[in-house]
Amino acid sequence: MEDATRTETPPTTRLVDYRPSAYLIDTVFLDLRLAPRETIVRSRLEMRPNPAVPASGASLTLDGEALTLRSLHLDGAALDAHAYTVTGEHLTLHQAPVRPFVLEIETSCDPEANTELSGLYRSNGIYCTQCEAEGFRRITYYLDRPDVLAVFTTRIEGARDETPILLGNGNPKESGRAANGHHFAIWHDPFPKPCYLFAMVAGDLACVDDRFTTASGRDVALRIYVEPGKEDRCGWAMDSLKRSMRWDEEAFGREYDLDIFMIVAVSDFNMGAMENKGLNVFNDKYVLARPDTATDADYANIESIIAHEYFHNWTGNRITCRDWFQLCLKEGLTVFRDQEFTTDIRSGTVKRIADVRLLRTQQFPEDAGPLAHPVRPEKYIEINNFYTATVYEKGAELVRMMRSLIGRRAFRAAMDLYFERHDGEAATIEQFLRCMEDASGRELGSFLRWYNQAGTPLVTVTTAYDAPSQTLELRAEQTTPPTPGQPSKAPLIIPIAFALVGSKGDLPVTNADGTPAPEILELTQASQVWRLHEVTERPVLSINRGFSAPIRLNASLSDADRLFLMGHDSDAFNRWEAGQIYAKALLVKLTRALVEGRRLWEDPAYSEALRSSLLDDRLSPALRAELLTLPTEGDLASEIGTSIEPDAIHLARRHLSAYIGRSLRDELRQAYHRHAVPGPYSPDPASAGNRALRACALTLLAAADAASGAQLAWAQFAAAENMTETFSALATLARLDRPERDAALEQFYERAKSDPLLVDKWLALQAVGPFPSTLDRVRTLMGHPEFSLKKPNKVRALIGSFAALNPVAFNDRSGRGYVLLADLLLALDPVNPQVAARLAGNFKSWRMLEPNRQALARRQIERVRAGDSLSRDLVEIVGTILA
Ligand code: TRP
Ligand code: ZN
């Protein structure tokens, strides 16, 4: 069959072209007869013309891909071959009825051949589905769009021995034996849903069981399904699920709505997890955890992803999206909700720091390069390319800003209103904003610009203090740099939380009339001035507290002011931020010195500030670890912005790490030993924080002295009793060119080889060594029997780590890193275009490189673009990157 998704010039879908569907589907009865090479799907659709669309009653076009049509009936009668047309992408009935009708479609598909992992596929012998965004059309012909909501009943039939477990959406209705050693199960989901939330799973799975009683007393069965033998790794996921369910009741008044909630862990998955109604499917790396296999970071990821998918039940499923341009309506909001969950059950400051780091390392570079797009894009070629940091992370920041603007009380009321008003609907951003307005009584029309305008605003703040009159003038200016397709930008409404910090803490601040000044400045114009009164001493400005707006900030603070804030800001987030800004400025200067061949210097004032942080017992160990962690090489590259010299950045950062490690050596050693966590492993935040501080100390000590650092790491590696300590030791060794490195990696492999998730860790760590030899090692590992282009986790571990976390080797001056990634993309695209397109994004900052590397990178991106029959996923990304 012709492969319709690999066309020469793929079409563009535009928001302005949105039209409601001319036909609706009320109920679906889906009958799947599973077989590895030929699964038969019978679909019975109860349809009718959409009364909201006047001109309906013409032709009816259903989406379908990689399907074989076996039969087609309209109201019970077989359709004549002239009555319809089938192409690689569609099934069109030339004349559809203008009254309700029943369409019955029989098709087949090939789960075994499905390496794209979209639609129905097999992973390790388990049948599973992934329908978001447009995978359902690879299971049957359908109106594959999120605004067509139907009630689904699913009958699944398979061989009893091959597929003892048969799972579907909703509640189980019936099961029993069928002919030829088969059996079946029938599932019914009473909640109308778009087809992207459909799921089914079948295979030989083990199950861990639990129960949950909702606030109103409803009893819900909870089940986690995993490969047999992995039942002992489900405890943390189950615990996280129950805490998520309780939290959504308490924080948002949202209860679960079916009799059963299931999670299935599969090993081959394109993303993290998927919120299918009542049947979430997860990448098993975000479910499975045992102290000897998972790190603190894994535990934290599992907790927040379980929460994220669970929270989608209301924000995404009960209220879904009208069209895919509204993706941030469910994703930004659900990320915001999972962030709040983590904040409430862990440390708010540490969580905020982690989220801001993510925003800076992922979203800011996206917003500053060729792939920049608004949180609500206005066009796409392939929607899978828009599951981005901008839609997810910046999308969450927009919800957070709205809460700042209307206040927590009104925000909660607005969410209640949203759930009440739009339950059962496919909604838009405008409708969401309207709820915020109606509940708060505040007009928010101008806020929509945040959704439609790409790019990170730059806000410049200057202050002038007048001692005699005790007034402070604060001036803020905003500009947003142009982004592709948006040459000029309008001012945004930016909530900027601030305080004036005096020698004894935050100063009370008043307006001219003596009333207290607001804690949040609302910057709405290109330039604005505020006058603050009764400022009794020259203050230091603490601005954008808690990162109240996702902006770049240029505030005229001196180095001394920054060091002061590092030690004294009452906003813990801004203490961290002051340190980051100081370090970034210093590292940029050191990088420049290296490029210009000047000598490097040391900065005792900075290391003294870090010493105070390290020794400050009032700060949690987790926060101290954050304070002692320097900005990444990627952060520095995006700070510098042009003519990037990755080696110079690396050396500058190494120089500063080594200096800090040397000057704080005794304190770091003490901290390293004092914060050892005795007793059996527990993933709680306090224990994890101690381990994080230890890991941070180890990193700095190793930077100062590779030989003794390697010894210390090796000792930790040998003695470790949990994966967190094993991994932090190995991660340190992996970046040191020392004999202990290969010895540890070899030992680790002996342990890892029976466990795919540990093999991923092993692959990832070999890709991050900042030396030229890493290139050959990655090439060799691509031929390792455990590596496979059909397994996204392996590809991401090895190639993703190499391209995203190892700027030195990826940007090797020979250009071989770019050749490696290009080779991989060309080989991967025919197998799994979604993952290929995502990895291609690692080329996005190529124009910021120094001229030689720029030319080398361009050649490789062009080589990819010239590849044969590229997927539209990859065409869109490389085309946009080169445009
Ligand atoms: N909706 C999922 C989430 O964020 C994302 C997702 C999972 C996805 N699998 C996918 C998106 C495959 C596109 C393709 O929770
Ligand atoms: Zn999501």
Rounded-to-integer distance, Cα 206 and Cα 196, Å:
26
Atom of ligand 1 nearest to the CA of 308: 15
Assess whether the C-beta atom of 387 lies below 6 angstroms from ligand 1.
yes
pLDDT number for residue 1: 42
Nearest to 593 by CA among 678, 522, 655, 661: 655
* DSSP code per residue over 337-349: HHHHHHHHHS-HH
Cβ neighbours, 10 Å, residue 447: 19
Q: Find the helix packing angle between 685-704 and 296-311, rounded to 10°.
A: 130
Tell the residue number behind the tokens 């030791």, with chain if given.
729
Would you tell me how many other CB atoms lie within 10 Å of the CB of residue 513?
A: 6
CB 789 within 8 A of CB 795: yes
Cα angle 650, 543, 624 (rounded to 5 degrees) comes to 50
Q: What is the pLDDT of residue 61?
A: 98
Domain residue spans of the chain:
13-204, 320-452, 458-549, 572-704, 753-883
Distance, in Å, from the CA atom of 158 to the CA atom of 185, rounded to the nearest integer, reads 9
**DSSP code at position 780:** H
With the CA atoms of 594, 600, 602 and 603 taken in that order, what torsion angle do they form, in degrees rounded to the nearest 10? -50
pLDDT at residue 81 in the model = 96
Q: At what angle do helices 646-663 and 604-615 cross, to 10 degrees?
A: 60
Please compute, for residue 858, the number of CA atoms within 13 A of its CA located in the half-sphere on the CB side.
Answer: 11
Asked whether this chain's domains 320-452 and 458-549 adopt the same fold, the reply is: no
The response to whether residue 132 sits with its C-beta less than 6 Å from ligand 1 reads yes
User: What 3-state class would DSSP assign to 564?
Assistant: helix
Which CATH number is correct for 320-452, 1.10.390.10, 3.80.10.10, 3.40.640.10, 3.90.550.10? 1.10.390.10
Give the right CATH number for 13-204 from 2.60.120.10, 2.60.40.1730, 1.20.1250.20, 1.10.540.10: 2.60.40.1730
Q: Who contacts 42 (Cβ-Cβ below 8 Å, separation ≥6)?
A: 30, 31, 33, 104, 105, 106
Which residues are CB-neighbours of 493 under 8 A, at least 6 positions away? Answer: 405, 446, 447, 449, 450, 522, 523, 524
How many Å apart are CA 538 and CA 518, to the nearest integer? 19
The response to whether residue 274 sits with its C-beta less than 6 Å from ligand 1 reads yes
Q: How many CB atoms lie within 10 A of CB 14?
A: 12
- Ligand 1: residue of 271, 337, 382 to mutate (most ligand atoms within 8 A of CB) is 271
Give the 3-state secondary structure of residue 84.
strand
Q: Which amino acid is at 776?
A: D
Band the pLDDT of 161: cuts 50, 70, 90: very high
Question: At the fourth CATH level, which superfamily is domain 753-883?
Answer: Peptidase M1, alanyl aminopeptidase, C-terminal domain (1.25.50.10)
* pLDDT of 814 above 90: yes
Per-residue pLDDT at 58 exceeds 90: no
Would you say the C-alpha torsion 128, 131, 135, 137 has a positive or negative sign? Answer: positive
Ligand 1 contact via 273 beta carbon (within 6 Å): yes
57: alpha, beta or left, given left = phi > 0 and alpha = psi -120 to 50? Answer: left
Amino acid at site 117: L
601: pLDDT strictly greater than 50: yes
Q: What is the residue with the minimal CA distance to atom 3 of ligand 1? A: 274
Q: Does the beta carbon of 309 sit less than 6 angstroms from any atom of ligand 1?
A: yes
Tell me the pLDDT band of 7, cut-offs 50, 70 and 90: low
Task: For the domain covering 458-549, report its CATH number.
Answer: 2.60.40.1840
Q: What is the pLDDT of residues 105-132, one digit of tens each?
A: 999 999 999 999 999 999 999 999 999 9
The Å distance, Cα 495 to ligand 2 centre, comes to 26
pLDDT in tens, 818-858: 999 999 999 999 999 999 999 999 999 999 999 999 999 99
Do 657 and 586 form a contact (C-beta atoms < 8 A)? no
In sequence order, which residues have a C-beta less than 8 Å from that of residue 367 and are 6 or more positions away? 390, 394, 454, 455, 456, 483
**pLDDT (0 to 100) of residue 2:** 44
Q: Give the C-alpha separation, 336 to 342, whole Å.
A: 10
CA of 641 relative to ligand 1 center, distance in Å: 31
Write out the two tokens for 152: 């689904």
pLDDT for res 54: 84
Please name every residue paired with 73 in a beta bridge, in sequence order, or none if there are none.
Answer: 78, 104
Alpha helices by DSSP H, 738-850: 739-752, 756-767, 773-782, 792-795, 801-805, 807-810, 816-828, 833-840
CATH number of 572-704: 1.25.50.10
Contact 534, 441 (CB under 8 A): no
Q: In this structure, are residues 688 and 622 in contact, taking their beta carbons and an 8 Å threshold?
A: yes
- The catalytically annotated residue of 116, 227, 303, 309 is 309
Q: Which letter, b or e, does each residue of 653-678 get, where b requires 16 or more Cβ atoms within 10 Å of its Cβ?
A: bbbbbbbbbbbbbeebeebbeebebe
Locate 196 and state its tokens. 């992207």
In the reported structure, the alpha carbon of residue 484 is separated from the centroid of ligand 2 by a whole-number distance in angstroms of 26
Q: What is the spatial distance between Cα 171 and Cα 583, in angstroms, rounded to a whole number?
A: 55
3-class SS string, 146-200:
CCCCEEEEEEEEEECCCCCEEEECCEEEEEEECCCCEEEEEEEEEEEECHHHCCE
- What pLDDT does 4 receive? 52
Q: Is 130 close to ligand 1, i.e. is its CB under 6 Å away?
A: yes
Query: Closest by alpha carbon to 875, among 866, 849, 821, 20?
Result: 866
pLDDT tens, residue by residue, 757-786: 999 999 999 999 999 999 999 999 999 999
Distance, first Cα to last Cα, the chain: 32
pLDDT value for 692? 98
Query: For residue 316, which atom of ligand 1 is closest to its CA?
Result: 1
| Closest residue by CA, ligand 1 atom 1 | 274
- 8 Å CB contact between 26 and 47: yes
Is 132 an annotated catalytic residue?
no
Residues 6+ apart with CB under 8 A from 840: 825, 864, 874, 877, 878, 881
Mean pLDDT computed over 151-176: 98
Q: How would you write 652-668 as a 3-class SS string? A: HHHHHHHHHHHHCHHHH
CA 282 – ligand 2 centroid, Å: 12
What is the pTM assigned to this prediction? Answer: 0.98
Distance CA 617, CA 243 (A): 30
The average confidence (pLDDT) of the chain is 97
Dump pLDDT digits (tens) for 236-295. 999 999 999 999 999 999 999 999 999 999 999 999 999 999 999 999 999 999 999 999
CA dist list (Å): 360 to 390, 496, 630: 11, 18, 13
* Whole-number Å distance between alpha carbons of 212 and 466: 61
Residues of the chain with pLDDT > 70: what percent?
Answer: 99
User: Parallel, antiparallel, or unpaired for β 552-555 and 458-466?
Assistant: parallel
pLDDT of res. 351 = 98
Beta carbon of 383 within 6 Å of any ligand 1 atom:
no
CA distance 412 to 550: 22
Rounded to the nearest angstrom, the distance between the alpha carbon of 273 and the centre of ligand 1 is: 6
Residue 501 has pLDDT above 80, yes or no: yes
List of residues 6+ apart from 470 with CB closer than 8 A: 533, 534, 535, 536
